[in-house]
Chains A and B, each alone.
Chain A
Amino acid sequence: AQKVTQAQTEISVVEKEDVTLDCVYETRDTTYYLFWYKQPPSGELVFLIRRNSFDEQNEISGRYSWNFQKSTSSFNFTITASQVVDSAVYFCALSEASGGSEKLVFGKGTKLTVNP
């Protein structure tokens, strides 16, 4: 069965610090997708990234970067120069193709608090 582990339950940093959120996954599929979502206090799920299992290139988007390592089954997310607005719960997720559709299996989430 698919499983996503986010070992860090809560992280607290001071503004402008860099912070890395860890994600480790388990799957038997050779083709899968990994995701990160942000959930601010308002509750909506904000899509951040979708990564194909065949694409191990690291990705950078502004202050966000992702490190995908198949060898360690990890898909870590780094926020550079964190800001108060980054405070949210961050979920890592893995898609599971069953019944023909790609449902998501989420990790338990990491609550990030960025203090001024």
Chain B
Amino acid sequence: AAGVIQSPRHLIKEKRETATLKCYPIPRHDTVYWYQQGPGQDPQFLISFYEKMQSDKGSIPDRFSAQQFSDYHSELNMSSLELGDSALYFCASSPDRGRRTEAFFGQGTRLTVV
């Protein structure tokens, strides 16, 4: 069965650079979530989209922005990267806004800022 695809799997950037993470949800899933997991931390909700519209926002820095495109894939853009942005970034998708079943997580993108 198709899973949530995240790319790239690993990314190394320098401070003050920009990074773009991509997420391709499971077909026919209408909701996408982004989570950030710092080293030794639990995943923290960043932002979600339902039918290409932002549905909720968590503790996402102003330097970060995200959108969901017409084909339902989503991108998380991070600018002016800081060392503290080094983390594992998960994307998850679900049908029907997560009300019928659990969200399915991608394998994550490990971002290292040096």
A residues engaging B (CB < 8 A)?
A: 33, 35, 37, 43-45, 47, 50, 91, 95, 97-109
CB pair A104–B103 under 8 Å, yes or no, is: yes
CB pair A103–B56 under 8 Å, yes or no, is: yes
Given contacts A45-B90, A106-B42, A108-B42, contact A101 B55 (CB under 8 A): yes
Summed over the interface, the residue pairs from A and B with CB atoms below 8 Å come to a total of: 65
- In the complex the two chains form, what is the Cα distance from A92 to B73 in whole Å? 28
B14 at interface by CB-CB < 8 Å: no
Interface size class of B (residues with CB under 8 A): 20 to 34
29 residue pairs of the A-B complex, CB under 8 angstroms, read A35-B102, A43-B88, A43-B108, A43-B110, A44-B108, A45-B43, A47-B102, A47-B104, A47-B105, A91-B43, A95-B98, A97-B99, A98-B56, A99-B48, A99-B50, A100-B56, A100-B97, A101-B31, A101-B33, A101-B48, A101-B55, A101-B98, A102-B97, A103-B45, A103-B58, A104-B103, A108-B41, A108-B42, A109-B42
CB pair A99–B45 under 8 Å, yes or no, is: no
User: Chain B binding site: helix, strand, loop or mixed by DSSP?
Assistant: strand
In the bound complex, residues from chain B placing their C-beta under 8 Å from that of A98 are 56
User: Chain A binding site: helix, strand, loop or mixed by DSSP?
Assistant: strand
Since A99-B48, A102-B99 are in contact, a sample of 18 more A-B pairs with Cβ atoms closer than 8 Å, ordered by chain A residue number, is A37-B105, A45-B105, A45-B108, A47-B102, A99-B56, A99-B57, A100-B97, A101-B56, A101-B98, A102-B94, A102-B97, A102-B98, A103-B48, A104-B33, A104-B103, A106-B43, A106-B44, A107-B42
In the bound complex, residues from chain A placing their C-beta under 8 Å from that of B90 are 45
In the bound complex, residues from chain A placing their C-beta under 8 Å from that of B110 are 43
Give B108's nearest chain A residue, CB to CB. Answer: A43
In the bound complex, residues from chain A placing their C-beta under 8 Å from that of B33 are 101, 103-104
In the bound complex, residues from chain B placing their C-beta under 8 Å from that of A100 are 50, 55-56, 97
Q: Which of B81-114 contact A (CB under 8 A)?
A: 88, 90, 94, 97-99, 101-105, 107-108, 110
